[in-house]
Chains A and B, each alone.
Chain A
């Protein structure tokens, strides 16, 4: 190593930087965990850990003032520091072997998690009633407005707009038949109530159906609740109004309309992730301990259908025993509907093996390092 490079690397290899980063990480984890009480795990994860900065907004202002580095900066800096330190001080010797193994395990773990965070699809769920077959899973947090061209008998053409792009009075040009979507009104979270339950007839609401209106609600961050957006939208073609509708994610029944010669469906629904294969629920089982309601085990007997790969087989998914297939992993997450519906968590994590490898490296490194400490300590005592 040239001295020039070493001098240049010095500030980012320093142990002080390591300690500083670790301390920042502690603050981040601590504050982020406390805030979960208010904003839930998912939101806290995005604000504190999967972010570059923590922002402070003074009350009643749009201003966002960064006040602390977020997870990406702290983790990234730690990673750079770790790698640089090893490059600068690399020396192959038995004495350093433990430390080297341990830290390479850590580097692998950090890189693997960063990769998983950046490139992997969000987690989603597949809800299956007994006997039902699905080739898609649904997002736990996000919704989409889907416009489906149903005029072809063999296949549907689907255009999906993430709900995050829907705002009051936004205009969105759709890449299909020169259609244009205008959002007249958008509620990020809403509740469906009977029209007679409105406090007064003029209370702001969207009429979703003859027996249901949507009223705006505070956005929720609770763990077992999800936001149910509603929207009033109009469709234009070549500047001509085709019609206007109210849609609610809590009532995802498509509306149909005709534009020109073609017929379309439009629906606001949980965002879907289509898979190149399908899964059918054969049977869900929920065993309880004798004389109690405490769950002993849940399991789903499922059928995996993948004509392209000539797969048609049954499998059993239960606690601590997921199904892994074509890069996706299906876990038993829950149940509903008097034990007739299963909820499978779907995760896509191509780097799932990484933690196993890094774990092995870290354990090996630590045993080597502390083992050598112990041996030399005992030797010294024996001599003394």
Chain B
């Protein structure tokens, strides 16, 4: 697909700058070339005699163009590569790999974004878009003139993972990690393992008790000597970097001594909390209005032989469930939980089937907004209706009203959308508020691990589809409902996905880190320590060398964010790959007035 529209210009040896650079400008099949005159970009390149190859390509990322680049690099002896196409987020690794295949150091390559940052946003002015693309390409060439070969840092990784949280996701992850030959330390804040599922009775679809399920998992954990379990324990500190974290775990609460654990990766599986309604919210606080977890405990106790379903000694003969409490809140409410908690529709219809099994005479009313018994849970909904449950649909802006009558009973008033919005007043013995999941309050852990949380308060993955368990902190993975509402099966799947991600790094025994990190010139450094607070990753420290005190930046701790560079009043810090000299040269190219 390569179209050498402009004749290849072969510069006389040696070039003025001593470099031999290849430039490729991409059409992106029209995404770029419909709005930017790519041929003009090639002809307007600010060539200092060192641009040895300049070509356009229909798709720079295509196999054919990649092979062409490799051939050019080798035949022309290129020592610098500039690709002007899309965002570096898409193809940085593609073109670094091209360089490597051609025997060129991958850090001698610069990506120039003329699609997202040019053609797509300047669809109305071809001439100006072309001038801007040319300036961007010239800036890329200026940066490339000053590149130096860099080598990735190879860091050995410890074959040991810390799992935080001993619920169903954490337990399954621990077993999975041990089974692929990694050592595991499992930290649980409570004195007992099991989390929420450990307190559940019968679960769908196998009819097994949550308690039983957890007992089985805990037995599997105990069978594996590679797993160390620490209960009543909390993570209070983290040092080191990816592959070699040193984590402090405090056992036995405030003031107790901390234990140090050296691990290669960390799986966070800290779970969720159940939404606690405000007093007055849908009648909460009124005698006989309970939450779903409270009610499930009552049903499990009754099923376990504690006698008929009763509330404060009185038989429950009728009840109403109010769905979406604390979930799917309307956006105008302050700090609204706008998400759906996923598990609660299924959990509630399953509970109603259990109740019907205890006593088919109990009348059950479900006041819902939308039924979301998705996937394999749908048969439960049918079963619940067959067992006699009545479903009434209310509008989000007209929630049911709950009050206690003078005579003693509860009355639930609702406008049912399914019967022409008729107002129904239902007398019941008990009201169950179907409460959703909320993120667990865990500020200390968030601070220690620097975990990113979304606007809903749950931890954030890098990408929900492509990298669903990885976080922006290398080697720190998230699993289960700490990431967002999940059913127990979904939590287990994400726990195992975190096992796979841990294995991908730790089983190799080493990892390669980008060498694009900040470095300090110890001669220029005056040890003012201003940079220490600028680093969000705690990668900078002070040491005493032969020439006195100076800052040192841990190359494995540094993420190359550049935050410390402008802080330094002595200009003693430089960022490899984006040095002051390179950035200045790029700015000059961008600011140059076209001839």
Are A and B interaction partners?
no
Measured CB to CB, the residues of A under 8 A from B are: none
